[in-house]
Structure formats: structure tokens, C-alpha cells
Amino acid sequence: MEETLVVVKRGNHIESEHTGSIAVVDWQGNLLYRVGDVSRMTFTRSALKPIQTIPLVQSGAADRFLMNDKEIAICCGSHNGEEQHTQVVNSMLFRIGLQEEHLQCGAHPPYSQERYLELVQKQIKPSPIHNNCSGKHTGMLALAMHLESDIDSYHRMEHPVQQKVLESLLELAELPEEQVITGIDGCGVPNFGIPLSKLAYVFARLAHPEEIQPPSLKQAIKRITQAMVQYPEMVSGANEFCTEAMQITKGRVLAKGGAEGVYCLGLMEKGIGIAIKVTDGNWRSAYPAAVEVLKQMGELAPLEEVALQAFHTPVIQNRKGEHVGKVEPVFQLKTEGNRGN
Amino acid sequence: MEETLVVVKRGNHIESEHTGSIAVVDWQGNLLYRVGDVSRMTFTRSALKPIQTIPLVQSGAADRFLMNDKEIAICCGSHNGEEQHTQVVNSMLFRIGLQEEHLQCGAHPPYSQERYLELVQKQIKPSPIHNNCSGKHTGMLALAMHLESDIDSYHRMEHPVQQKVLESLLELAELPEEQVITGIDGCGVPNFGIPLSKLAYVFARLAHPEEIQPPSLKQAIKRITQAMVQYPEMVSGANEFCTEAMQITKGRVLAKGGAEGVYCLGLMEKGIGIAIKVTDGNWRSAYPAAVEVLKQMGELAPLEEVALQAFHTPVIQNRKGEHVGKVEPVFQLKTEGNRGN
């Protein structure tokens, strides 16, 4: 059963509650802490992006197209559609010899409200380049080119690009294909669901790939995670949680969220992975829960905790900016020996 | 305990779930059906608006300022900020001799995306008139003028306007003040929380006020509910659920939602009230749950059910408009004798 992760208070009264599950697993596969139901099948959504980038790097496609670490980072990102993001994606597209029209992700307004309003004022319609997944799709196109496979159907499950993504996930999660569920993500490519504890395990292995074979896979993982923590602004954007979490912890923490209340963290020095799923899919409680896990594990220095406070216990304001409530994590991480709690 | 009201599927797999509680009560106070915990203390949020409008009408303030039914309806509304809405609010403000600057609701972009983009293109900053509560606040200002009380502090709990709102709620809910919780709403005025079954009872009495004393209260309620079902476009706006639900059922159903997953319905011919609270506060499951309750109670004709389908079982699309999932109600209304289910 899921447990209450976070409460939302108006004045002193609880108005709403978010339940969910949390798994904390080390690189050897030990379940260190749990909340709720860690065996819950969980669509990985955009938390899959670092894994979706593995075949691009491991195959040599990234090197062939002279992709730098900033570009690798945006392939793993759910970016804000800021100028800095669309520039990097455009530059990659140019280098692989393709255009925006080849992106199969569809269009949505940039997550950056500032950029969106700028487009509206200039009467520019949002296009696939502004889609938060345009970096990932460009990476997939580069891989399709490298594999000399069809570039118009790279988003289909049967395409070699998606087959290689699935292989990478199965390898890292140590799961047979029959134990993976499949759906179509918001950006049109296949997304996979695995048990929550396995998702935490995948992030533990991303954080500590030293024992992973073959060396090409280990090296690809190292390059990807280093790119993400070195260019966290490519993973999300200004004032966003993924970006701030990696910046504030100076890259000790790998951070990547996904739609429907999925949040994953990797402790780079310790080889520990954390996976959170909010049952109702609301992002509102995912960030508070993520910071709370780090705090309970003693992974945040006091100043880091202060710097993350606005994500940890957000204040609810009314339309005049007065404080009328707050969001508060209420769960307690349990060790396996403490299951009955 | 709350129960699962609605599931969100990606492909054939459940990705997220929304729990909640539902109470169905008649005008005599009988609990006809329940789901989850109907004694749950529930902030009424914008479902309080018809009640917040009672003192305006009952005191004679609405008549004094020559308010028509369209204007009464927008006082009960969470409007979209469309041209048709801001025109009505501006006209009311003019007639009571006040300006937009007297509204204490704060500003937010119009809910209508079309109107919002129009403002951005014209470089007009959203102002309090666009706030979805600007009708209600104008009504409160009219009442403050009528009572010859201070017009700058009408939003404070100790002000006669808010005291009269509280009195109306206590009267309709048949609750002592000690059993009501208080918080500040998003628009800056006090909001009250009562048990969910009492909220359903309040809507039953709105739908069937015949036995309510004094006559001035009964008449005020009749005028308010008639205004809402006659001008449903003032209660919300184009393509919005409250508006469509009242239009499609030709006013047999009174419909008003509130923030944080609150939804209330009144069956006008039967004097039955329905109150729904989604535990996590997400609107995504409130409309499907509301339609499902009406359906299970046999209150929808086949063509009405078809017309409400997009609210009942919404399709989830990816950014290219392909269907990748759906939202589905899964609860079953239980009678009291069926409590063990």
C-alpha cells in the first residue's frame, strides 16, 4: 500500500494529501529504505532519459557527430525551451544534417513562461524544437543516422533505436523483457514501466557503474552522468528543481524527474539510487519528497538544505502573495527490518 | 478511508490513481450514497460561492444596485476572464460607484487561454478584473456599500460581509461555528471547511429551499440557483465543465467546483446534493467523478451522457494528438446499508 508522503495545509488544517512510494537501493541491489509499495509497476517517463541516451553514446554515434557534454546533457533533459536550450538543439540538428521537421516529438509551448510570452508577443507558434524532449529526439535521430536506419520511424517500438533503448534498460535493471510494461510517452516514443525498486536500482548503477560490463557501457554511463551534473542547466532550466538540486549539491546528486509524479536521484559518491512515485501523478509533492529523502539520509549539508527549502516545504500564496498555507513532507523512511511501521 | 475514485491509464496499464470521498445527501439530511470518508473536513473553496452570494441578495443590496440575474450568476462564478465576463464585472463595479482598484482579490492571468494570449499580444498585464473571483468580490463590495461598512477591509474575517457569509453557511449546514474550520482562500477572503456530508447537504438545500426560513433566505437561494442555471456561461466559461454540465442538463443540475479537487452538484428537481473531494486536490479526476455519480444515479439521459463524455472519460493525448491513455472512474456508490463494501 502507498503511504502519505506529503500534506498540503491551508492555515493549520490539512486540505489535501499525496500518497506514494519510495525505494532507496544501492548498486549491489540492496533495498536500504522503503516507503509504501516498492514493487509497484512504475512508468519511468522522463526519468528514462539518461538510459535513452546510452545507445547514442555507447554506439559511437555521439562521437561521430562531435557531440559535446552540453549536448549529451540536453539529450537527457526535459528542458525549459529557453534560448540556451533551443540553440544547443538546433546546433546538434545542423551537425547531423537534419532539420526540426524531422523531430517526431510534436510541439508544446516552452515550459519557460518568459520564453513562451516572448514567442506570443512575436507571434511565433511553438514548434517541436521547444518541446522539452527535443534534445532526446535529436539524439535518437543521430543514432538512427549512425545505424543507417530509417529516420522517419525512429520513434516506433520496432525501430533499432527504441530496441537499443529497451536493451539498455533491461541490462541496467537486470530484468527480462516480459517483466517490463510499455506505453507511449507524451513525446511519442515508447516508455517503459518497471517495479519502483528496480528504477532505484537503475539509478544506483548510473551513479556507480564501475562493475558494469562491457567497458563501452560503463564508459557511456560515466560520460552521461558527468555531462548531466556538469551542465545541469541543460537537464531542466532556470530555477527548476533538477537543475538546482544538481547545482546546489555540486554534482554529488544526480537528479531527473518524469511526468506523473516520478522522481529519481543518484548519490554519485555512494552508488545509491532513489526512486519516488507519487500515486496521483502530481508534481507538487515530488520535489518536497525528494528533498526530504536526502535530508533523512543525511545527504544534505545545512546550507544545502536551506538552499533547497523552497522545493522542500513550499509556501502556498494567495493571489496577492500572502502566505495562506504550505506543503509538508510527512513520511519516514523505513529500513527493511522496520517493515511493520 | 478514502477510496480510489479514478484511474489514469497509459496504454492498458494503470499509471496513476486518484482517491477521494463522495457524499450524496437529500434535503432532509439523509445520506443516500457514500464513497470513502464522508465525515472528512473539507475546505469548500469556490463551491462556497453560491453561499457567499446569499447575503448580497438577502440583504437587498443586489436589488438596490439593480443587479440582474447574469450579474448574480457571475458573483457565484469562477469565471474564465473572457470578454463577456470582464464586461459584466466592470458594469457592476460602475453601478456601485467603485473601480477595479477596490477589488482585493489580486490578479492572475485569465483562465481563458485565448484571452490570456490576446492580453500578452496587446502587452496588457492581467489585473484583478481577470481574477476568476472578480464577480464574487464585486458582490462583496456591493454588500459592504449597502451595509455602510468599510470597503477597504471587506475581505477580512471580522468584517460584516464575511460574518454574514459565515452565518449563511452555518444556517444552511446546520452547524455550530465551533465545528467549522477557517483558512484564507486564493483570492484573499476567508474560506470555510465543513464535513463533506454537510457540504452535500448544503447543496441539497440550495436545490430544494422550500422549507427554509425566513422567506427572505428561501427567496435569495431561489434567485441565486435560478441565475446560475439560467446563465451557466457566467459560472465558468466556454467549454468548461460547470457551464457545460448545467447547459447540457438544461438546468436540472446545479454545478459548482472549487480548487483542490472539490466538486458539488445539486439535483434541482429532487432536492439532492452531491459533494466530491479528491484527496490529492487534482482537478483531473473531479469531473470524471462528478459525471460518474450522475450516471450511477440514473440522472443522465443517454444523449446527455454522450455530450459529457469528454469530461467523463477523457482521452490522454501525446503532443502529436495521438491517443496514448485515458482517465476512468472506477468507484461504486454505496448505500448506507452497503457500508461493508
| Chain-chain contact of B11 with A183 (C-beta, under 8 angstroms) | yes
Give how far A30 is from chain B: nearest CA, Å: 25
For B197, the grid coordinates are 456530508
Is residue B341's pLDDT more than 70? no
Is residue B51's pLDDT more than 80? yes
| Alpha-carbon dihedral B280, B284, B286, B289, rounded to 10 degrees | -110
For B125, the grid coordinates are 498585464
**Chain B interface residues facing chain A, Cβ-Cβ under 8 Å?**
8, 10-11, 13, 15-19, 41, 43, 104-108, 117, 120-121, 123, 131, 181-188, 191, 193, 260-261, 278-282, 318-322, 324-325
| B127 SS3 class | coil
Choose among B13, B188, B260: nearest Cβ to A15: B260
Give how far B72 is from chain A: nearest CA, Å: 23
d(CA A102, CA A90): 12
- Secondary structure, 3-state, B99-122: CHHHCCCCCCCCCCHHHHHHHHHC
| Chain-chain contact of A280 with B16 (C-beta, under 8 angstroms) | yes
Pairing of strands B190-195, B253-258: unpaired
User: Where does the pLDDT of residue B337 fall: very low under 50, low under 70, confident under 90, or very high at 90 and above?
Assistant: low
Choose among A187, A320, A322: nearest Cβ to B318: A187
Is residue A340's pLDDT more than 70? no
Q: What is the pLDDT of residue B240?
A: 97
* ipTM of predicted assembly, 2 dp: 0.96
d(CA A119, CA A131): 14
| Chain-chain contact of A121 with B120 (C-beta, under 8 angstroms) | yes
Give B-chain residues touching A318 at CB under 8 angstroms. 106, 184-188
Give how far B17 is from chain A: nearest CA, Å: 5
DSSP E strands in chain A: the ranges are 3-10, 13-26, 31-35, 41-43, 181-184, 190-195, 253-258, 262-267, 272-278, 315-317, 323-329
Percent helix / strand / coil, chain A, rounded to 5:
45, 20, 35
Any bridge partners for residue A175, and if so which?
none
Q: Which chain A residue has its CA at the smallest distance from B128's CA?
A: A319
The domain limits of chain B are 3-335
* Percent of chain B residues past pLDDT 90, beyond the cut: 98
| Chain-chain contact of B318 with A186 (C-beta, under 8 angstroms) | yes
Any bridge partners for residue B257, and if so which?
B263
Contact A53, A171 (CB under 8 A): no
d(CA B239, CA A167): 44
| Alpha-carbon dihedral A73, A75, A76, A81, rounded to 10 degrees | 90
Is residue A310's pLDDT more than 60? yes
CATH code of A3-335, in short, is 3.40.710
pTM value?
0.96
Stated as kind and residue range, the H or E segment containing B256 is strand B253-258
Pairing of strands B190-195, B181-184: antiparallel
Choose among B19, B106, B282: nearest Cβ to A282: B282
Alpha carbon of residue B215 to chain centroid: 24
| Chain-chain contact of A107 with B186 (C-beta, under 8 angstroms) | no
Give B-chain residues touching A184 at CB under 8 angstroms. 10-11, 318, 322, 324
Is residue A275's pLDDT more than 60? yes
Exposed, middle or buried by CB within 10 Å (0-12, 13-18, 19+), for B170? middle
d(CA B14, CA B313): 14
For B233, the grid coordinates are 456561461
Specify the amino acid at residue A264. C
Q: What are A221-274's pLDDT values in tens digits?
A: 999 999 999 999 999 999 999 999 999 999 999 999 999 999 999 999 999 999
| Chain-chain contact of B184 with A11 (C-beta, under 8 angstroms) | yes
Which residues 6+ apart lie within 8 Å of A220 measured at CB? A54, A57, A58
Mutate to test the interface with A, among B319, B322, B323, B327 (most CBs of A within 10 A): B319
Largest CA distance in chain B: 61
Specify the amino acid at residue A56. L
Beta-carbon-side half-sphere exposure of residue A89 (alpha carbons within 13 Å)? 35
Give A-chain residues touching B188 at CB under 8 angstroms. 318-320, 322
Q: Categorise residue B174: left if φ over 0, alpha if ψ from -120 to 50, beta otherwise.
A: left
Q: What are B133-174's pLDDT values in tens digits?
A: 999 999 999 999 999 999 999 999 999 999 999 999 999 999
Is residue A101's pLDDT more than 80? yes
Please state, in angstroms and as integers, the Cα–Cα distance from residue A192 to each residue in A41, A152, B323, following that order.
10, 21, 17
Residue in this structure with the C-alpha cell 518568459, named with its chain if needed: A114
Number of A to B CB contacts under 8 A, please give it: 133
User: In 3D, which of B276, B294, B289, B280 has the Cα closest to residue B47?
Assistant: B276
Q: What are A156-168's pLDDT values in tens digits?
A: 999 999 999 999 9
Mean pLDDT, chain B, integer: 97
Beta-carbon-side half-sphere exposure of residue A322 (alpha carbons within 13 Å)? 16
d(CA A166, CA A55): 10
d(CA A187, CA A190): 9
| Chain-chain contact of A184 with B318 (C-beta, under 8 angstroms) | yes
User: Where does the pLDDT of residue A339 fall: very low under 50, low under 70, confident under 90, or very high at 90 and above?
Assistant: very low
Q: What are A20-68's pLDDT values in tens digits?
A: 999 999 999 999 999 999 999 999 999 999 999 999 999 999 999 999 9
| Chain-chain contact of A15 with B319 (C-beta, under 8 angstroms) | no
Which residues 6+ apart lie within 8 Å of A110 measured at CB? A80, A81, A82, A116, A119, A126, A130
d(CA B52, CA B65): 17
Is residue A172's pLDDT more than 70? yes
Is residue A141's pLDDT more than 50? yes
Q: What is the pLDDT of residue A337?
A: 58
Is residue A75's pLDDT more than 60? yes
- For residue B285, the 8-state DSSP code is G
Residue range B32-43: mean pLDDT, rounded: 98
| B301 SS3 class | coil
Q: What is the pLDDT of residue B121?
A: 92
Higher pLDDT, B10 or A339: B10
Contact A187, A15 (CB under 8 A): no
User: Where does the pLDDT of residue B336 fall: very low under 50, low under 70, confident under 90, or very high at 90 and above?
Assistant: confident
Give how far B305 is from chain A: nearest CA, Å: 26
For B249, the grid coordinates are 442538463
Give B-chain residues touching A192 at CB under 8 angstroms. none
